[in-house]
Chains A and B, each alone.
Chain A
Amino acid sequence: MKTPISYFVVLSAVLFAIGSVGVLVRKNALVIFMSVELQLNAVNLALVAFSRLHGNLNGQVLAFFSMVVAAAEVVVGLAIIVNVYRRMHTANVDDASLLRW
C-alpha cells in the first residue's frame, strides 16, 4: 500500500512549525541557526512530495537548489556567528544588545 502524498506534506508542515518555534524561543545563535536549517529541510520534503504528486521533476530540482543555498548560508552564517563569539565571548542573542532604541 502506498503512503498518501498528504502525509508527507503534513509532516513537512509540522517540521516547519517546529523550526519556526525554535527560532522564536531559543536564545543561542547556533541553535536558532539549526532551527532555520530544519525549516529549510522541511521545505525540501514538501518539494519532493509535491514533485511526486505532479509527476514532474521541478520540485526535486528546486530541492537541490535549496540544498546548495543552505550550504552557502552555513558558510556565511557560521563565519558571522564565530566572529560574534570572538568579539563578545557569547553566542547568546540576548547579550547582543548594543543596538537598541
Chain B
Amino acid sequence: MLAQFLIHPPIQLGPIGPELVLTGTAIVVLLGAAFNPRIGHSTLLLVSLLGLAGAALVSIGLWDWGGELTVLAGMVATDRFAVVARLILLGIAAMGLVYGYHYFRRSGEARAEFYPLVLFATAGMTLIAAAADLILVFLALEILSLSLYVLTGISARLSSVEGSMKYFLLGAFSSAFFLYGVAMAYGATGSTRLSAIAHALAGQTGSLGLALAAVAFLGIGFGFKVAAVPFHMWTPDVYQGAPTPVTAFMAAGTKVAAFAALIRVLETSFQPLTLDWTPLVWTIAAVTVVAGSLIAIAQTDIKRMLAYSSIAHAGFVLIALTAAGQDGISAALFYLLAYALMVLGAFGVVMLVSARGEGRTSLASYAGLYRRSRLLAGLLTLFLLSLAGIPPTAGFIAKVNVFRAAVAAGHWPLVLVGVLASVVAAFFYIRVMVLMYMQEPQDDAEPDRSPWPRVAVAVPAVLTLLFGVFPGIVLGVLDKAAILRW
C-alpha cells in the first residue's frame, strides 16, 4: 500500500562521481587539518591534488557514457560537453592549489582552509558545467561563489578584506537576479528542467513575456559571473584585492564554469528563443570587448590591467555565443581553454615577480624585468602575446575560431568590432613588453627564484605554444564535445 507512494526515480551516482570525489577529498582535508593542526601543508596539497586527479579520472570515464541523457530526475547532464568543461576546471584548480601552496608559504599566511575551499569551489564549478536543471545551476553557482568570497578575503591585508566585501555584496545581488530569472522561467513554463522549458517554449505553451523576462534576469546573473559590461564593476577590485593565486584560480575557473552554464542554458532551454536573445548577446559582446580594452589602457597596476583584459576576453567568448550551434560552442570551448592557460600563466608570473605577498604589482615594477630574470620576462611575453592574440600562440587560434564562427553565422559587424578592440588591446599588452625589455630597472628587488613554482608556470606556457602550433590535437576532442545532449 505504502510502496506505491514511494516511487522514486532511479539513483545513478556515476555522472556526479567527479563532484563526489571532490567534496569527499575536501571534507577529508578539512577534518585532517582540524584534528591535526600540525599537519604539513605539503601533505594537504598532495591529498588535494590526488583528489583532483581522481575526479579527472572519473570524468574521463564518463566520456563514453551510454546511459540516459540526464540522470537524478533530470538534474545532471551526462554529455561530453560536461566532461571537457570538468577536465579544464580540474586543471585550473590544480594550478591554483600549487600556486597557493607556494604563495602562502612565502607570505607567511599559510592556512589549511585554503585547500578545502578551493576543492569546494571546484566542485561547484564542475557541477554547474553538468547542471541540466535551473535549481542545480543556482545551487552550484552559490557553492562556487560562497567559497570564492571566503577565498578572496583569506589574507589579512586590508585590500583583500575590502575586495571580499565588494565581491560578496555584488555577488549576492547578482544571485538574487539569477534566482528571480529562475522563478520567471518556472512561471513561464511550469518546470525548471532545461529540456522541459525548451519543450514548453517550442510548443508555445508557455508565457512568452515571462520567458523573455527570464532570459533578461538570467542574463544579468550570468553577466555578473562572467564579468560582462555593464556588470563588471566588481572584477578589477576583486582581482586586485584577492591574493594572486586566488585571483588566478577564480579568473580562470569562474569564467569557464559560468560560460559552460550560460552556453547550456541558452542553447538548450532557451534555444526556441534564439532569435530573441541573440541581439542581446550581440550588444553585450560588443560593449564588453570595447569597454574592457579601452579601460585597460588607463591602468597602472598589472592585476587591474589583467582584470580589464579578462573582461574583454569575456566579450570574445560572447561573440562565439552569437554563433549558435556546434561551431559556436566548439569555438567558445577552445577560447575558454586558451584563456584559462594564459590567465593562469600571467597571474603566475605576477605572483613570482611580487616575490612575497602583493608588494610589487604596479606596472613600474616590471621595468627592466628582463635584466633581473630572463625566464620570467620571457614567460610573461608569451602569455601577453597569447592574450593579445598574436601567433604562434593558442590565443591567436582561439580568436580566429571565434571570428570564423561568428562570420559564418552572419555577424560580421560584431567581428569587425572585435578585431578593432583586439588592436586597441594589443597596445597595453605590448606596453608591458616595452617596459620589461627596454627600460632600466627602478630598484634592485629580486623576483622569486624558487624552482618549483617556475616549473608550474612553465606548464601553461608549454600548452599555450603547443595548442597554438598544433591546435588539431584538442580541436577534434572539442568538436565532439560541442554537442549538447538533453
Contacts and interface: CB of A to CB of B under 8 A. Distances in A.
Interface of A: 9, 12, 16, 19-20, 23, 29, 32-33, 36, 39-40, 42-43, 46-47, 49-50, 53-54, 56, 58-59, 61-62, 65-66, 69, 72-73, 76-77, 79-81, 83-84, 87-88, 93, 96, 98-99, 101
A36 B176 CA distance: 7
Chain B contact residues: helix, strand, loop or mixed = helix
Given A58-B192, A62-B192, A99-B241, A77 B139 contact: no
Contacts of A66: 138, 179
B169 A73 contact: no
B187 interface: yes
A53 B210 CA distance: 14
A81 B164 CA distance: 9
Contact of A101 (B153, B172, B177, B298): B298
A67 to B, nearest CB: 11
A76 B166 contact: no
For B139, B150, B175, the residue with the greatest tally of chain A CB atoms inside 10 Å of its CB is B175
Contacts of B175: 69, 73
29 contacts: A9-B187, A16-B176, A39-B173, A40-B176, A40-B179, A46-B183, A47-B183, A47-B186, A49-B187, A56-B190, A58-B190, A58-B191, A65-B138, A65-B139, A69-B175, A72-B142, A73-B146, A73-B172, A76-B168, A77-B168, A79-B150, A80-B153, A80-B165, A83-B165, A93-B166, A99-B166, A99-B237, A101-B295, A101-B304
Given A72-B146, A77-B168, 17 more contacts: A12-B183, A23-B169, A29-B169, A33-B172, A36-B172, A36-B173, A40-B179, A47-B186, A59-B186, A72-B142, A76-B146, A76-B149, A80-B164, A93-B165, A96-B165, A98-B241, A101-B304
Nearest to B239: A99
A80 B162 contact: no
A76 B167 CA distance: 12
Contacts of A65: 135, 138-139
A43 B135 CA distance: 13
A79 B184 CA distance: 31
B183 A50 contact: yes
Nearest to B149: A76
Contacts of A80: 149-150, 153, 161, 164-165, 168
Interface string B138-164: 110010001001100100001101111
A83 B304 contact: no
Interface in B258-306: 295, 298-299, 304
A62 B169 contact: no
Nearest to B139: A65
B247 to A, nearest CB: 12
B218 interface: no
Given A43-B180, A87-B158, A99 B236 contact: yes
A71 to B, nearest CB: 11
Nearest to A76: B146
Given A93-B165, A99-B237, A101-B304, A53 B187 contact: yes
Given A69-B139, A99-B163, A101-B304, A93 B169 contact: yes
A14 B173 CA distance: 16
A96 B169 CA distance: 13
Given A46-B187, A73-B172, A84 B139 contact: no
B195 interface: no
A36 B161 CA distance: 20
Contact of B158 (A36, A76, A88): A88
Nearest to B298: A101
A42 B295 CA distance: 36
B422 interface: no
Contacts of A61: 135
Given A69-B138, A99-B240, A32 B169 contact: yes
B314 interface: no
A31 to B, nearest CB: 11
A4 B406 CA distance: 46
A75 to B, nearest CB: 9
B133 to A, nearest CB: 9
B287 to A, nearest CB: 18
A62 B135 contact: yes
Given A29-B169, A62-B135, A39 B176 contact: yes
B21 interface: no
B416 to A, nearest CB: 28
Given A59-B186, A77-B168, A87 B180 contact: no
A101 B191 contact: no
A39 to B, nearest CB: 4
Contacts of B90: none
Interface in B192-242: 192, 236-237, 240-241
Given A36-B173, A76-B146, A98 B162 contact: yes
